[in-house]
Amino acid sequence: MSESVTQRAPDGVKHIHHHAYACRDAEETRHFYEDVLGLPLVATVVLDDPFRNDGSRYCHIFFEMSDGNALAFFEHSSLFTPGDFLPRSGFHHHVALEVDGDDAVMRFKRRLDEAGINNMYMDHEVFHSLYFNDPNGLNLEIVTKVPATIDYERSARITAREDLGRWMQQRSEQTNKELA
C-alpha cells in the first residue's frame, strides 16, 4: 500500500473491543460458545439496568477470541421475554470500538455533542464507555480500559463461571417470585 493509504483511523480507534448481542439464556449461550465452539468464557458481569429504577439487573458475558477481542452477550430479562425476543436498546446489539484513554472518549463525546447526536457516557469501573447510534441506526460504543482493567481481567477469568452461576440462581429465584 502507498503511504497515503496506510493512514490509520482518526482519534486512535484500534480495533473492535467486543461485539455484543442479546441472548435468551446466559447458560445456554455459554454452553454453545464455550463447550461447542471452544471460545473461553472470560468474564461475567451483572449490572443494574440503567434504563429502569425498579432494581432490574442484567448479565453480560464475554467469550474471548484468539486475537483477544470478544463476543459478548446480554441476558436482560427486563427487556426480553423468552417468547418475545426483540431488542429494545443499543446495549443488546452494538459494536464496541476501543480507544486509548478517557481523553479519546471525551474527544468523541465533544464531537457527537457538537453534531447534535445523542450519546450516553457510562463508567463501568473497569471500562469507560460512550454509547450512540450511527445514521443507519447501528448502535456503537467507544470504550477505553482504565487502570483497574488488568486486575479485573485477571480475576474475571477465575470467577466467570462462579459469577454466571450466581446470576442463574438469582434469575431463577426472581422468576419463581414473579410466578408466585
CA gap 68, 61 in Å, rounded: 15
135-166 residue pLDDT tens:
667 688 889 988 777 787 788 888 999 999 99
Burial class (CB in 10 A: 0-12, 13-18, 19+), 16: middle
Q: What is the fold of 16-179?
A: 2,3-Dihydroxybiphenyl 1,2-Dioxygenase; domain 1 (3.10.180)
DSSP tag of 40: P
CA gap 66, 138 in Å, rounded: 26
Q: Is the pTM of this model over 0.85?
A: no
66-104 residue pLDDT tens:
788 898 988 887 776 665 444 456 566 777 888 888 999
DSSP tag of 149: H
**37 DSSP β-pair partners:** none
Q: Are 22 and 34 in contact (CB under 8 A)?
A: no
